[in-house]
């Protein structure tokens, strides 16, 4: 099992050169097609007291189209213009919506960890993207330019999202030298937790992936902090977890662990929702 197509999001107003090089190297590793994507949304007219307060002209729209074309040219130069499996896509729409549509073309989506300046019309909200796109998402912190994936930590919860994340991460897990499955629980749940992660280890073993199991009965530390501590102990550079959250009245509500990892993780996170 491998990834045949990767999609990397490129902020129209940013210069995420490290992330593009990261995605290009990953595409080379898997022999995958690499798609670069960017988007800008046209602001809707706002009418107040019968007056149009915000009115975007056709010239403004053409300038936005030109900016996206130029960003694609820049992407090609960074990713490697001689890359035989390189593609650029762009659209005039909200970045999260464009990414949700275009993700149908990829096995894995690569995005930055933090939202760039510019608001919803010009920048991607990572948490919203993860919950909308229906594809495994690799979140790359600023300053991270490569991913060996030699040591991987799996944050396990007996949920749909965690099960999907492990399945989605199999190409990375196959190449890892060390895989640690972690579940945290209360003292009274330790026996059941051991049974659960042993089942997960058995699943991975049937995919010819060896792993270590670790149940932590600790209630005074957040799960995200616990995973980060174990990742540091294991010298891991990839964390695999489910992503938890939902939309309510147009507002994206994230689970505590998902929100914290997006804020504090210094290493790449592969999340599935």
pLDDT tens per residue across span 174-220: 999 999 999 988 888 889 999 999 999 999 999 999 999 999 887 66
Query: Residues 54-80: pLDDT tens digits?
Result: 667 888 889 999 999 999 999 999 998
Q: How far is CA 24 from CA 36, 80, 151, 174, 258, in A?
A: 10, 8, 21, 20, 26
Q: What whole-number distance in Å separates Cα of residue 243 and Cα of residue 32?
A: 25
Q: What whole-number distance in Å separates Cα of residue 73 and Cα of residue 217?
A: 52
Q: What whole-number distance in Å separates Cα of residue 172 and Cα of residue 1?
A: 10
Query: Residues 42-57: pLDDT tens digits?
Result: 987 655 555 555 667 8
The domains of the chain, with CATH numbers, are 5-140 (3.40.50.620), 151-272 (3.40.50.620)
90 forms beta bridges with: 38
Do the beta carbons of residue 54 and residue 41 sit within 8 Å?
Answer: no
Global confidence as pTM: 0.91
Do the beta carbons of residue 257 and residue 224 sit within 8 Å?
Answer: yes
Do the beta carbons of residue 217 and residue 187 sit within 8 Å?
Answer: yes
Q: How many residues does the chain have?
A: 273
240 forms beta bridges with: 154, 270
């Amino acid at each position: 099992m491998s990834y045949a197509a990767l999609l990397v999001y490129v902020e129209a107003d940013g210069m995420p050169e490290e992330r593009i090089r990261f995605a290009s190297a990953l595409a080379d590793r898997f022999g995958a097609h690499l798609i670069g994507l960017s988007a800008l949304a046209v602001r809707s007219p706002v009418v107040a007291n019968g007056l149009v307060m915000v009115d975007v002209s056709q010239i403004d729209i053409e300038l936005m189209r030109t900016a996206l074309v130029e960003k694609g040219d820049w992407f090609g130069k960074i990713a490697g213009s001689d890359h035989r499996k390189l593609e650029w896509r762009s659209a005039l729409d909200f970045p999260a919506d464009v990414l949700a549509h275009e993700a149908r073309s990829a096995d894995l989506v690569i995005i930055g960890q933090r939202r760039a300046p510019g608001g919803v019309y010009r920048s991607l909200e990572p948490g919203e993207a993860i919950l909308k796109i229906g594809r495994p998402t690799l979140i790359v912190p600023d300053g991270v330019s490569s991913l060996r994936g030699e040591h991987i930590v799996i944050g396990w919860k007996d949920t749909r999202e965690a099960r999907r994340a492990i399945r989605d991460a199999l190409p990375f897990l196959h190449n890892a030298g060390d895989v640690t499955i972690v579940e945290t629980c209360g003292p009274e749940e330790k026996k059941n937790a051991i049974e659960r992660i042993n089942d997960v280890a058995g699943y991975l073993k049937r995919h010819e992936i060896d792993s270590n199991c670790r149940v932590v009965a600790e209630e005074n530390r957040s799960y995200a902090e616990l995973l980060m501590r174990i990742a540091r102990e294991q010298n891991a550079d990839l964390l695999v977890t489910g992503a938890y959250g939902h939309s309510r009245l147009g507002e994206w509500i994230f689970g505590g662990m998902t929100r914290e990892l997006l804020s504090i993780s210094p290493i790449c996170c592969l999340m599935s929702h």
